[in-house]
Structures are given as C-alpha cells and as structure tokens.
Amino acid sequence: MIKLYGAEGGELWSVDTQRMKDALWIDAVAPTPEEVEKLHEEFKIDLQDVADCLDPNERSRVEIDEAYDLLVLRSVLAEQHNGVRIQTMPIGIFVVKDRLITVRLGSSFSYQELTSDFKRKPHIDSKEDLFLSIVRRINKDIERRVRPMERTIANIQEEMLETRKSDSAHHAFVISNELILLNTTLLGNLNAISMMSKAKHLRFTKERLDLAEDIENDVAQLYEMTTIYREIISNILNANELAAANNLSTVMKILTTISLTLMLPTLLASLYGMNVDLPFQNSNVAFFIVLALAAVSVFGLWMIFRIKKIL
C-alpha cells in the first residue's frame, strides 16, 4: 500500500494517491508488485533495492546512485509472545530529487507519530527535514526500548540475590537476547548514518548538519548503553551460574561427609553381624559396646572434619 504526504506550514498532510509527483513523502508499506513497478517507472528506483528493503534480514547500509540515495535502517517492532519480545525490520529511505520514498514491510509509525514524541516539534518544509525526522523517529523507537532496561536489569539482579529463582534466570536470558539484537541493530544503523555525508541528493544547512550530528551522537550513545547493559547482564548470568555451581558443590560436600561419617558405624555393624568369633560378642553388654564404638567413631570423624574446616 502506498500513501502520499505533502508538507504545508511545516506540517505533513495526506494527499491524493494520484498526485505522486506532488508528494513530499511517498510511504510504501508492503507494496504490491504493481506498486513497486510504478515506483521503478516514476523514479528509476532499482527493483533489487526495493526487494532488499522488503527482506526481513536486510542489514543497515547506504547505497549512493546517480538517480537516488538509499539509506537502509533497522527499526524496532514489538510483539506479544509470552511477554514483550523485540523484533526489528528494515526500512529503506530513498532520497530522490524533490521527495523522499520509504519502503518497509510494516507500518511501525504513522505520519502523525513522526513528530509526536519530540519536545521540540520539527518544522518540515523539505525532504532534508523529513529525512532527519524519520531517522530520529527510528532512533526514538529503539531508545524507548533501551531506557527502561537499566531498571529491569537492577530488578533481575535483586531477585537473583534474594530468591535465586529460575524465573529470574529465564528473564535474564530474554533480556540478554534482546540486548544482543538491539546492540547489533544500533551498530548497523550507526555505521549507515555516518556514511550519509556522502549522499548526493541531500543538501544540509548548518542547522540541519548540527541536528544530523546530534542524531548520530544519540545512536552512538544508545549503542554504548546496550553494550554496557550486555556486559552487566552477562556478569549477572555468570554470577548466577557460579552460585548454582557453588551450591551444588556444597550439597555434594555435605552428602560426602555424611556418607563418610556413617561408613564406620556401618562397618562395625557389618563385622558384628558376621558368623565368626569377635571380641565382646559373648558379653552381656556387647550391643552397647558396639553402639559406643560407633558413636565414638562418628564423633571422631566429625571433630576431624571440623578441624579441617570441611564442615
């Protein structure tokens, strides 16, 4: 589906789908083959580039062509599946002579949402303004998922220290996988955005260049944050694994100690259960003598273990 938007008074407005050449922004969401062919005929966009933008596994990259500049970024989607699971998809931004064309698999944001989260609402009059707004919106969506993770990681750490439940470890593994995905996405986006200075069809003023640098710095900051969070969650998982191993070692040590402690009484009972002549077996107090020897052996082993600090 293709939607067209024009700019008037610094705002975006939906325009008639028949006036493609009058639109500032052409948004192709899961376009049909006929719509892709129309984009190819109208703006000389390579069909392979469009197909790449519709590939769910396409990486972030920059393509500089005589007819257009292409920036492919990965944006974040959220899907409910036993909790919130992060997914990403590519979005291709084609910069042609007088307009912007986006090609994406799904509608991750609408034109009304393009400026709704910004404290200082951008004034969109040109394709450069629209380009920066789209890139900033993609980064904001990722930031919205990254910022709360610090508190989530702290809660997981507290739960593991206090309860050591397996649910906390499972949650930590989920967060770890999400951080790997976000970290990889941000690194690809950062590399692609840093290459846009070579674009032929973007004309940035000094003010817009400053805004572009701010966006690049924001992406770099988020990348550093996810890298730090990955290290923290990795340390938490390693500490949890080490604690589980130490607990198992302690249990095995106690069981081994108990087995050794009971070995001598079992040996004495086995000896006096044999049908052979043994000391004290004809005594009236033989049973109590055996019990006393067993008790002494248990107490002696227990003292040895205490002296050696095994128990």
pLDDT digits (tens, 9 = 90+) for 65-124: 888 888 999 888 755 444 456 788 889 999 888 888 889 888 777 777 776 666 566 677
Below-50 pLDDT ranges, the chain: 80-83
Neighbours of 154 (CB within 10 A): 11
Q: How many CB atoms lie within 10 A of CB 179?
A: 25
How confident is the model at residue 166, as a pLDDT?
57
Report the residue count for the chain.
311
- Are 116 and 181 within 8 A, CB to CB? no
User: What is the torsion angle, in degrees rounded to the nearest 10, for the CA atoms of residue 112, residue 117, residue 118 and residue 121?
Assistant: 30
For residues 202 and 131, the answer to whether their CB atoms sit within 8 Å is yes
CATH of domain 2-245: 3.30.460.20
- Is this model's pTM higher than 0.75 or not? no
pLDDT at residue 156, as a whole number: 80
Q: What is the pLDDT of residue 163?
A: 63
Coil, helix or strand at residue 255: helix
